[in-house]
Chain A
Amino acid sequence: MAEENSGMEDAYFEKPKRLETWSGLPVSDRYTPEDVEQIDYQKEIADPGQYPYTRGIHPDMYRGKYWTRREVCGYGTASDTNKRLKFQMAEGVGGLNVILDIPSHMGIDPDHPRAFDEIGVTGCNFCSLEDMEDLVDGIAIDKTSMSLITTSCSTPVILAQYLVVAEKRGIDPSTLRGTIQNDPVHFRYCGFRTAVPLKLALKTGVDSIEYTARNMPHWYNTTVNMYDLREQGIDAPQEVAFGLGMAMCYIDGALERGLKIDQFAPRMAFYCSSHVDFFEEVAKLRAARKLWAKILKEKYGAQDPRSLKFRFAVHTAGCSLVPQQPLNNIIRVAYQAMAAVLAGVQSLHCCSYDEPIALPTEEAQLLALRTQQILAYETGVARVADPLGGSYYVESLTGVIEKKAEEILAQIEELGGMYEAMRTEWIDKEMEKAALKRQKELEESKQITVGVNAFVSEAEKETPGGVHRIPAETTEIQVKRVRELKERRDNTKVRNALEAVSRKADQGEKANLMPEIIDAVKAYATLGEIVGTMREAYGYSYDPLKVIENPFK
């Protein structure tokens, strides 16, 4: 049987081949006190809860409060998603996290000719106030932290829907907790460019920031989405730099509206990736925290310590998961989640193992939640703030990523700032280069993914645990519903409300449309109508896809 065992000697003596991080940062074989002797602890690291917050934003970290356990959810109609939310709550999530479908992100209604077969497929369909009412039916939104993943020009409309539902229930909006995410600018990198023209995206983002900063003190006015950027293939330092660059666009926009930095910065947050290279991700998150504190203090002169605290959620890296041997993804997610927690995350979404196959089944999502719960309640990692702080390696790598990210930020500054870097598509080119590099590393086995380019086994015929299917009747239901609504409602009221949005927009880009959008939502104007009116008012086509015309003209 000598032949069968011929690989054993190689396997026994095998050594790691890749000696650099996922991002290509060189690392030594060991780290010693010498590697950190240049680092001034008080100035560069400091205790948890102390500037520059490298070690975390709270002195007692999770002893004060666990991270919020959330699982992104959204499919079919709002009623379908409501059922899944109730299931999640029964199983012990700490907050809710709902994602819109493509037509809702795009800002088109279900009766749009191009929406057919797209409704409810990759998220929950929102069209009118009725959908938001269905989504939160039976859920105490005054006691629930709600994250509504809206990151397009639909943001102010979805926010308005949520506010009107709260008002109808007699809830004071100033008590609401959660976020609308609200980072329309980054969505140009997620295949939605036509729906988020740069100027309009920034304007709608800043409208929501201004409105929530003035009226909703517990509401996170923006969650800058570094995660989606990372998913494009960029590396860890780029994730930090591009994300902070994006955040600065919003800050500058909000300052131009006359807000003071300390009025809104304490309620800005971030959505980061936790990728597969464990220590690099921990170091990245620590570096991001430190850089944010420095930028807010030195560039923007923030005085309130809360403004300096980089609050972040983590979404484990969807792009690190593969459909080959899908149960392996459970392990990847668990490591990524642990990196996020060791780095001091405030809110966590664990991917479900079946995400590279379809939207998650209920069982797969439960397993993702259980991954968080085992981490929180069994492993003991939440006991001590920043347990990796002081590690020669982690502190050194944190410094390397900080420096790299600063170099990229300086490069962006030379290009005229992030807005210009985006407008001139410099960012696009960086992303495309990075994506190609990643794939080549995989093709050439410079980067190993088990089941893809190593330890490959025959493809499974079926997905363990089955495949989640979107109810086939979703499109039909939503189309019928919106058509009936458009017949039933007082269309004069709708027309007047939309004209008010348009008139306010005539005052210029700094005119905040939120109050008029809230009135339009109350009149049961639809998402497509409000977004279309807003687009037209600022000189864009009513329909982002240029198929339909404004029905009120």
Chain B
Amino acid sequence: MNEDKKIKVLISKLGLDGHDRGAKVVASLFREAGMEVIYLGLYQTPENVVQAALEEDVDVIGLSCLSGEHLTFAPEVTKILQGKEIKDVLVVVGGVIPREDIPEMKDLGIDEVFTAGSLTKDMVGYIRDNVRKQH
């Protein structure tokens, strides 16, 4: 893979949660950090997200969860990816998430979690260090 190629990120909301300010801000800041961002928007299902990720051939899926979807719909996304044996897409989740839930989320295949109050430089740094590897 050409390392100079822009990192391609899909950012999406999941379920009916309407809190989309964070997702939109992160999308803009990732673009400014030199990534190619596809913002899928509100009311997405795990199936939609994976389908769009495959069609767009993204390196990263970023899911925004502020109403409890981090333990319901987000693990569905990783389950579908695992079912399709897709191992080179990094899945990160951001939002309102109790720290206590992070180990379980990681067990379910989510690569990293950024809670509210996270800074873009930390997210961008994590993505650059971990993207395009087998997970």
Contacts and interface: CB of A to CB of B under 8 A. Distances in A.
A323 to B, nearest CB: 5
Nearest to B24: A432
A378 B108 CA distance: 49
Given A356-B96, A461-B99, A322 B18 contact: no
B117 A443 contact: no
A323 B25 contact: no
Contacts of B119: 442-443, 452-453
A21 interface: no
Given A323-B99, A358-B96, A106 B16 contact: yes
A191 B117 contact: no
B78 to A, nearest CB: 16
B99 A459 contact: yes
A357 B113 CA distance: 13
Interface in B78-123: 96-101, 115-117, 119-121
A191 B18 contact: yes
Interface residues of A, number: 42
Interface in B28-50: 28-29, 42-43
Nearest to B101: A467
Contacts, number: 97
A439 B25 contact: yes
Contacts of B100: 461-463, 467
Residue of B19, B72, B96 with most chain A CB atoms under a 10 A cut-off: B96
Nearest to A470: B68
Using C-beta atoms within 8 Å of the partner chain, give the interface range for chain B: 20 to 34
A114 B16 contact: yes
Contacts of A459: 99
A431 to B, nearest CB: 8
B18 to A, nearest CB: 2
B98 A439 contact: no
Given A322-B116, A452-B117, A452-B119, A118 B15 contact: yes
A198 interface: no
A102 B17 contact: yes
Interface string A515-545: 0000000000000000000000000000001
Contact of A233 (B16, B21, B29): B21
B16 A323 contact: no
Contact of B43 (A194, A358, A435, A443): A194
A357 B21 CA distance: 17
Interface string B1-22: 0000000000001011111110
Interface of A: 102-103, 106, 114-115, 117-118, 121-122, 190-194, 231-233, 322-324, 356-358, 432, 435-436, 439-440, 442-443, 449, 451-453, 459-463, 467, 470, 545
Interface of B: 13, 15-21, 24-25, 28-29, 42-43, 67-69, 72-73, 96-101, 115-117, 119-121
Given A322-B117, A323-B117, A358-B68, 16 more contacts: A102-B16, A114-B43, A117-B68, A117-B72, A191-B13, A191-B17, A232-B21, A233-B21, A323-B96, A323-B115, A357-B98, A436-B28, A440-B29, A462-B100, A470-B68, A545-B43
9 contacts: A102-B18, A102-B67, A122-B17, A191-B20, A232-B21, A323-B96, A324-B117, A449-B117, A463-B98
The 7 A-B pairs of least Cβ separation, nearest first, read A191-B18, A322-B117, A117-B72, A467-B98, A121-B68, A452-B117, A122-B67
